[in-house]
Amino acid sequence: MNTSYMVTVEEAQKFVLEQIRSINAEEISLPECLGRTIARDYYSQDNIPPFDNSAMDGYAVSSPDVARASRESPVVLKVVEDLPAGSVAQREIRKGETARIMTGAAIPDGADTVIRVEKTRSEGRTVTIFGSIEAGKNIRLCGEDIRNGQLVLKKGTVVGPAEMGILASLGVDPVAAARPPTVGILATGDELVEIKEELTPSKIRNSNTYSLIGQVKESGGIPRNLGIAGDSKNEIRRKIEEGLKNDILIVSGGVSVGDYDYVKEVMTDLKGRIVFWKAAIKPGRPMVFAIINGRPVFGLPGNPAASMVSFEVFVRPAILKTLGRQNDNRREVSAVVEEEIKKKKGLRYFLRAHTRWEGGVYFTRKTGLQGSGILKSMVLANSLIVLPEEEEIIDKGRRVTVRFLN
Ligand code: AMP
Ligand code: MG
């Protein structure tokens, strides 16, 4: 096999990312920002909590006042005020005094701790205290969660439910979020029919468009389905031109060296610059990456599993970069492989696998046939076994790198 004209996976990834710019931000309302990427650093302009407050229901006291209180010799204090959450104390706590306080209410001046209600007995406007307590106990201090001026959420963070809560407590709404890239998806092939069309002899249903829609969404992009182009230069050209309205364009199929593989030719006709063609990867060797009109265009292999793997390896990182995402949330672990694997030297393999954690170790095995058209093994996979170019035989029981897909 002649591998000299192929770029390695690493080179190809680098070539792709070099061409990708992050796109601008937009303001979106806080309740809508789940899963979005934050487009600026957010600093706190307040202390959170903004004031010392009670961590429980009880009595705000000055610790010296109750220093000698016990079951046997309780101390009686005068209750001067009731402080529900949200209330503002009207007076200071002086010697021999206390205020009834609820969780979340501000600690009144003169008090340095809160004694829990279970250690007390209330009688009219007095309360009997049956134990002592240290200063500072049961108080949530001003700024103990977040200090004024602190960097709270970094640019490139993906917003989850906890981030939504933090943004709310910082008073941030709307949120500056990266504008998700639109990603055009074009399927090519005379053999393809759409889902609802009749499956006449020699036809197959277009499945790549739908796997790709899922992968684009999962990566934070907005898929735009451009449908199917038959294997004709004109049709492919027209659809690619239409697809270039998007931030990124994916064309599936038609990138090999078959007589009807026109995608690369059309890219050249459109004055596109072919950045690379063919990568040393299995599955997914026949692929092309070009810049047309300043737009990144991926020509992915038509075979369904190959299309998905190439997306994972090359397109997903590009989408994440346009979003300014800090990390890609794909865990890579070392796992013990449960079967011998043979491979061709010179190609990096990505095998569909199921990986599980058992007795403190990850174990991994292939999920079935690995032909580049076999989608079922992808359905069963929760991970990809990544095998380096130089390897040929991987013995059973050896450690391999596994990349989780979820
Ligand atoms: P190609 O890359 O065009 O040579 O296609 C390689 C293989 O993938 C062929 O068997 C095609 O029928 C199949 N294929 C291409 N595009 C799709 C698609 N959108 N959905 C399902 N299979 C496809
Ligand atoms: Mg084809």
Neighbours of 360 (CB within 10 A): 5
Of the listed ligands, the closest to the CA of 286 is 1
| Region for 253 from its dihedrals, namely left if φ exceeds 0, alpha if ψ lies in -120 to 50, beta otherwise | left
Q: Does the Cβ of 299 fall within 6 Å of ligand 1?
A: no
Q: Which residue has the tokens 């990096």?
A: 348
Query: Are residues 353 and 307 part of one domain?
Result: no
Residue among 252, 263, 287, 372 whose CB has most ligand 1 atoms within 8 A, to mutate:
252
The C-alpha R_g of the chain, in whole angstroms, comes to 31
Contacts of 271 (CB under 8 A, 6+ apart): 292, 293
284 lines ligand 1 (CB under 6 A): no
The answer on 171 and 261 residing in a single domain is no
Burial tier of 194 (Cβ tally within 10 Å: 0-12, 13-18, 19+): exposed
Asked which of 322, 357, 386 is the last residue of a domain, the reply is 322
Q: Which amino acid is at 106?
A: A
Domain interval for residue 149: 25-48+144-178
Based on the fold, state whether residues 39 and 65 are members of the same structural domain: no
Tell me the longest C-alpha to C-alpha distance in the chain. Answer: 98
Residue 318 alpha carbon to ligand 2 centre in Å: 24
The CA 213 to ligand 2 mean position distance, Å, reads: 19
Rounded CA-CA distance 142/62 in Å is 18
Q: 15 C-alpha vs ligand 2 centroid, how far in Å?
A: 25
Residue where one domain finishes, among candidates 178, 196, 230: 178
Using a 6 Å cutoff on CB, does residue 252 contact ligand 1? yes
Number of domains in the chain: 4
- Ligand 1 site, residue 304, Cβ cutoff 6 A: yes
Q: Are residues 211 and 300 in the same domain?
A: yes
Residue 156's CATH number = 3.90.105.10
User: In sequence order, which ranges of 132-272 are alpha helices (DSSP H)?
Assistant: 161-170, 208-218, 233-243, 263-269
User: 189 CA distance to ligand 2 centroid (A)?
Assistant: 4
> What does the DSSP assignment read for 131-155?
S---TTTTEEPTTSSB-TT-EEE-T
Tens digits of pLDDT across the chain (406 residues): 444 579 999 999 999 999 999 989 999 999 999 999 999 999 999 999 999 999 999 999 999 999 999 999 999 999 999 999 999 999 999 999 999 999 999 999 999 999 999 999 999 999 999 999 999 999 999 999 999 999 999 999 999 999 999 999 999 999 999 999 999 999 999 999 999 999 999 999 999 999 999 999 999 999 999 999 999 999 999 999 999 999 999 999 999 888 889 999 999 999 999 999 999 999 999 999 999 999 999 999 999 999 999 999 999 999 999 999 987 889 999 999 999 999 999 999 999 999 999 999 999 999 999 999 999 999 999 999 999 999 999 999 999 999 999 8
Q: Round to whole Å and give the CA distance between 91 and 10.
A: 68
How many Cα atoms occupy the beta-carbon half-sphere of 126 within 13 Å? 7
CATH number (domain holding residue 121): 2.170.190.11
349 and 315 within one domain:
no
Q: Atom of ligand 1 at shortest distance to CA of 255?
A: 2
CA of 300 to the centre of ligand 1 (A): 10
Report whether 280 contacts 348 (CB < 8 A): yes
CB 300 within 8 A of CB 251: yes
> Which ligand 1 atom lies nearest to the CA of residue 303?
8
